[in-house]
Amino acid sequence: MTSFLLRRLGASVLLLWLVLSAVFFIAHATPGDPSELFEDSRMTPAEQANLRRIYGLDRPLLEQYVLWLKAAVRGDWGISMVQNRPVAEILGGAVLPTFALATSALAIQLGVGFLFGVAGALRRDRPLDHVLRVLSLIFFSLPVFWLSLMAILLFAVHWPLFPAGGMWSIGAESLSPLAQARDLLWHLVLPASALGLAFSGFLARYVRSSLLEALGQEHIRMARARGISERRILGIHALRYALSPVIQFLALAIPGLLSGSLITEVVFSWPGLGRVGFEAVIGRDYPVILATTAFAAILVIAGNLAADLALAAVDPRVRDAQMSRAPA
Amino acid sequence: MKRAAMVWRKMSGTLRVGIALIGLLGAVALGAPWLAPYDPNEQLDSSAAYLKPPGTRLAAIRLAGGGWLLAESVRRTPDGLEAIRRGESSHFAASEVLNLTDEGVADSRVFRLGSDRFGRDLLSRLIYGARVSSVISLLTTVLALTLGLAVGSLAALGGGVLDGVLMRIVDALLAFPDLFLLVALAALFRPSDALVVVVLAAASWMSVARIARAQLLALKDREFVLAARGMGRGWLGIWWDHLLPNALGPILVQAALLAGSTILIEAVLSFLGLGIQPPRASWGNMIAEGQNLLSSAWWIATFPGIAICVAVISLHLVGDGLRDRFDPRLRTTAEG
């Protein structure tokens, strides 16, 4: 198990380095040079040169790359060119909101996805199954941003049940912790539901087909023959068998969830990573663009690693196969 | 013709519905100039046609001095025309109006799906938006398919180090949350249609590469390939004659799904202001225009979203139908 873990960890670090390098070179290969931002007629050439020097833009690209990478590893992501604050501080403030949004969305996705998937598999080819399959298809064909807008239109504008955006009500700082939590949840309902529902469709299909495959296996027929109750078969034998493809699927879904939260955050003015990244892109705030993209990639890679480990824990076949394979 | 009818009869219901819907979308895109009731960018009396709800009919008064005015209602008076414009009554002499009839005026404008804040007809914009979505989706899919096939084939046939390097690149790109990458790329370059296609294709060829590689790896040691090798054929010929036709099924399935997700992502980019630029209509930028008018004009953001859904659903139906047709067991493996 340890060698398996180490190998996966090594591969993840390598992948991370590749991603970071790609981000750096893509950002620097694009035509708009960040130093153009300093070509302001209100500054003297000497001041402009000084700014370039401060941001290290006067050095050769390769040197900039090495410096950036070194600093990034230490957790120093530079200083935002627009907000004039350390990037790490900006990102640090955005992590929690994104985490709150993504986990609540994931909870909704899992709930709806499993409910639909299991119900569909158990009622295979009956009316309920057809209805659920059509619903799943609609869910995953919906543009998330449109679903978000429709949620706002219906539940914030037409029936003002929930706030149309933001994370806190005005004056929430002065509330008691319990009231603050309630306020946060109240603001979370619409964005998390929009994001979670949009992504639940794919999961529902996946759960359904994995479960159907599992229910067709020999050991399930064996269990039935032994007179084990259907509920027990489903709960223990089939669901566990169906779990590993679902975990794999979830790891692949993390990039989608992050991308989805970018749009949801922009639509709902949610102060998370996606919105920080989007605003940085609009304002051409290079250090922030680099950092958010890299950070998003780190989250994805970490998610993949976690999924691999979870998979190995759930499914002994994976563990054995991974360990006996020649080092990649 | 007979053959086509036979193929159609053998298709599953899913596939038929999907293909019919895509055919419809393509027909709308191709026939946009004939199908759209008005010019999608025409702003005829935009102050009177400002944010009209679906189904609004306005009388169109053709002025002798050139140009048109729109009015909620018109009434013929003995010496000319009485018009209610934006709630206010105004009077036109008979000589001022060119299209006068006994009841009022001969022309009218109907906003079947409502109008936007420039008084443009939403239905016409929606129809022209279908052009943008289908062209971008088609080009992107072709580009991503070509790139993915090339990389996947190189990896499978090259093997060894080449395979390792190419697949690590694929892994690295898949690790990107694609939207972060797309938004960054789209914002760093000047927006243009070509950029949208290139950026979308750059973010979506990896799944094709993976599937192509897996398919070719499974095929390349089969007897018929070995036989062709033994007869002295080169890899390029074998690839074209034997490998590609046999690997095509799952790749086509992926292409259909890709075309669907491309429509979605193009809409997102345009919605964020990084894709198709206004005033040209695309479903994404129409929704963006409706975003700030949700409380006063719900129809602007609503209808383009429905159009996107229908387009994406039909492509997914085609993908599903093709998948079941090629191999029902592929259902779990083609996801990877």
A178-230 pLDDT per residue, tens: 888 888 899 999 999 999 998 898 889 888 888 888 887 777 888 888 888 87
Picking from B220, B234, B256, the residue whose alpha carbon sits closest to that of residue B15 is B256
By the 8 A CB rule, do B193 and B139 touch? Answer: no
The mean pLDDT of A267-279, rounded to a whole number, is 90
Q: Is A317 helix (H, G, I), strand (E, B) or coil?
A: helix
Confidence class for position A30, pLDDT limits 50, 70, 90:
low
Residue A317: the pLDDT is 66
Instruction: Please indicate whether, in this complex, the C-beta atoms of B188 and A31 are within 8 angstroms of each other.
Output: yes
Residue B92 · residue B81 · CB < 8 Å: yes
Report d(CA B68, CA B43) in Å as an integer: 10
| CA-closest candidate to residue B82, choices B59, B108, B115 | B59
**Are the beta carbons of A51 and A38 closer than 8 angstroms?**
yes
Region A146-158: mean pLDDT is: 92
Nearest CA among A255, A16, A290 for reference residue B168: A16
Are A277 and B298 inside 8 Å of each other by CB? no
Structure tokens at B199: 């950026």
The shortest CB-CB distance from A277 to any of B180, B309, B336 is to B180
Residue with tokens 């005829």, as numbered in its chain: B44
User: What value does the mean pLDDT of chain B take?
Assistant: 86
Q: Which fold has domain A2-30+94-325?
A: MetI-like fold (1.10.3720)
pLDDT over threshold 60, residue B328: no
| Among A153-167, A189-203, A312-326, B232-246, the least confident range | A312-326
* pLDDT value at B332 more than 50: no
**Which two structure tokens, joined as six digits, stand for A141?**
């064909």
- The answer to whether B175 contacts A149, with C-beta atoms less than 8 Å apart, is no
Q: How many angstroms from the chain centroid is the CA of residue B55?
A: 25
Residue A45, CA distances (Å) to A48, A49, A53, A64 in order: 5, 6, 12, 22
Query: Is the CB of A138 less than 8 angstroms away from the CB of B313?
Result: yes
Q: Could you tell me the pLDDT band of residue A281, with boundaries at 50, 70 and 90?
A: confident
Beta-carbon separation of A143 and B184 below 8 A: no
CB spacing of A32 vs B287 below 8 angstroms: no
A166: distance to nearest CA of chain B, Å?
A: 15
d(CA B276, CA B286): 10
Nearest-angstrom CA–CA distance, A25 and A68: 11
**pLDDT, average across residues B122-151:** 93
Separation CA B302–CA B286 (nearest Å): 9
- What is the reported pLDDT for B330? 45
Tokens standing for A321?
């196969």
Distance to chain B for A131, nearest Cα, Å: 14
- Find the CB nearest A143 among B177, B267, B336: B267
For Cα atoms B203, B209, B212, give the angle at the middle one, nearest 5 degrees: 150
Query: Would you call A156 helix, strand, or coil by DSSP?
Result: helix
Q: Is the pLDDT assigned to residue A36 strictly greater than 80?
A: no
Smallest Cβ–Cβ distance between B305 and the set A14, A146, A258 belongs to A146
Least confident of A91-105, B121-135, B313-327: B313-327
Residue A325 has pLDDT above 50, yes or no: no
Provide the token pair at A50: 């000084």
Residue A39's identity, in one-letter code, is: E
Count of alpha carbons within 13 Å of A202, Cβ hemisphere only? 21
Over residues A88-110, the mean pLDDT reads 90
- The SS3 call for residue B100 is strand
User: Which residues in chain A have their CB less than 8 angstroms from residue B312's CB?
Assistant: 141-143
Please answer yes or no on whether A259 and B290 come within 8 Å at the CB atom: no
Beta pairing class for B88-93 and B107-111: unpaired
Put simply, the answer to whether B183 touches A297 (Cβ < 8 Å) is no
Q: Where are the alpha helices (DSSP H) in B100-243?
A: 122-158, 160-175, 178-188, 193-202, 205-219, 223-230, 235-238
Polymer length of chain A: 328
- Residue B65 pLDDT level (bands cut at 50, 70, 90): confident
Kindly state the percentage of chain B with pLDDT values over 90.
Answer: 32
Residue-level pLDDT at A38: 60
Supply the pLDDT for residue A327.
40
**Residue that wins the pLDDT comparison between A65 and A112:** A112
Do A137 and A202 touch, CB atoms closer than 8 A?
A: no
Residue B295 has pLDDT above 60, yes or no: yes
Q: Counting beta carbons within 10 angstroms of the beta carbon of residue A229, is it exposed (0 to 12), middle (13 to 18) or buried (19 or more)?
A: exposed
Provide, as residue numbers in chain B, all residues whose Cβ is less than 8 Å from the Cβ of A304. 175
How many distinct helices (H) and strands (E) make up chain B? Answer: 14, 6
Partners of B294 on chain A (C-beta within 8 Å) are 149, 152-153, 157
Which range, of A105-109, A182-186, B94-98, averages the lowest pLDDT?
B94-98
Q: Do B181 and A266 touch (CB under 8 A)?
A: no
Residues of B in contact with A281 (CB under 8 A): 183-184, 187-188, 274
Are the Cβ atoms of A259 and B178 closer than 8 angstroms? yes
- Over its C-alpha atoms, chain B yields an Rg (Å, rounded) of 27
Which span out of A64-68, A187-191, A226-230, B322-326 was modeled with the highest average pLDDT? A187-191
pLDDT tops 50 at residue B327: yes
The DSSP secondary-structure symbol of B203 reads T
Give me the pLDDT at residue B302, please. Answer: 94
Whether B184 sits inside 8 A of A142 (CB atoms) is no
- What would the two tokens of residue B29 be? 């895109």
Question: What pLDDT is recorded for position A43?
Answer: 73
A319 or B264: whose pLDDT is higher?
B264
- Cβ–Cβ gap A141/B316 under 8 Å: yes
How many whole angstroms separate alpha carbon B32 and alpha carbon B20? 18
Main-chain phi, psi angles of A292, to 5 degrees:
-65, -40
B58 strand-pairing partners: B109
Average pLDDT, integer, range B182-191: 72
Interface contacts A/B by beta carbons within 8 Å: 146
Q: Tell me, what's the pLDDT at A131?
A: 92
CA end-to-end span of chain B: 37
Residue B280 sits at φ, ψ, to 5 deg, of -60, 135
The mean per-residue pLDDT over the stretch B80-90 comes to 86
B28 — pLDDT class (breaks 50, 70, 90): very high
* B295 → closest Cβ in A157, A267, A277: A157
Burial of residue B328, with CB atoms counted within 10 A of its CB: 0-12 exposed, 13-18 middle, 19 or more buried: exposed
| Residue B148 distance to chain A (closest CA, Å) | 19
Task: Pick the residue from chain A with its C-alpha nearest to B329.
Answer: A213
Rounded to the nearest angstrom, the minimum Cα separation between A308 and chain B is: 14
Tell me the nearest-neighbour CA distance from B214 into chain A, angstroms: 17
Identify the residue among A37, A149, A286, A288 best suited for mutation to test binding to B, counting B beta carbons within 10 A and taking the highest. A149
Most confident among A106-110, A291-295, B169-173 (mean pLDDT): A106-110
- Which residues in chain A have their CB less than 8 angstroms from residue B268's CB? 143-145, 263
- Classify B93 as helix, strand or coil: strand
Report residue B121: phi and psi, to 5°: -80, 120
Which band of pLDDT confidence, cut at 50, 70 and 90, is reported for residue B141? very high
In terms of pLDDT, which residue wins out, B27 or A300?
B27
Contacts of A139 in chain B (CB under 8 A): none
pLDDT of residue B287: 93
Provide, as residue numbers in chain A, all residues whose Cβ is less than 8 Å from the Cβ of B174: 255
CB contact under 8 A, B308 and A146: yes
Q: What are the domain boundaries of chain A? A: 2-30+94-325
**Do B114 and B54 touch, CB atoms closer than 8 A?**
yes
Fill in the DSSP letter of residue B71.
E
Entry field: residues in chain B? 336
Average pLDDT score over chain A: 81
Q: What pLDDT, on the 0 to 100 scale, is given for residue B334?
A: 36
**Contact assignment for A297 to B169 by CB distance below 8 Å:** no
Write down the pTM of the prediction. Answer: 0.85
Which of A24, A145, A208, A264 is most worth mutating to test chain B (most B CB atoms within 10 A of its CB)?
A145
What distance in Å separates the CA atoms of residue B51 and residue B57, rounded to the nearest whole number?
A: 13
Residue B88: enclosing H or E segment and its boundaries? Answer: strand B88-93
Tell me whether residues A296 and B169 touch, CB distance under 8 A: no
> Residues of A with CB below 8 A from B178's CB?
255, 259
Question: What pLDDT sits at residue A326?
Answer: 39
Measured between CA atoms, how close is A177 to chain B, in angstroms?
33
A40 Cα to chain B: minimum distance (Å): 19
Q: Indicate the angle between helix axes B178-188 and B193-202, nearest 10 degrees.
A: 150
Please tell me which of the candidates A15, A266, A267 has its beta carbon nearest to residue B171. Answer: A15
Q: Which of B188, B299, B312 to probe the A interface (max A CBs under 10 A)?
A: B188
Residues in B closer than 8 angstroms to A241, CB to CB, are none
Instruction: Count CA within 13 A, CB hemisphere, residue B69.
Output: 22
Of residues A322, A18, A300, A9, the one with CA closest to residue B167:
A18
Q: Which two tokens stand for residue B162?
A: 């080449």
CA distance B144 to B150: 10
Relative orientation angle of helices A286-314 and A2-29, to the nearest 10 degrees: 160
Res A109: pLDDT: 92
pLDDT at A34 over 60: no
CA trace torsion B326, B329, B335, B336 (10° rounding): -110
Inform me whether the pLDDT recorded for B78 exceeds 60: yes
What's the confidence (pLDDT) of residue A25? 79
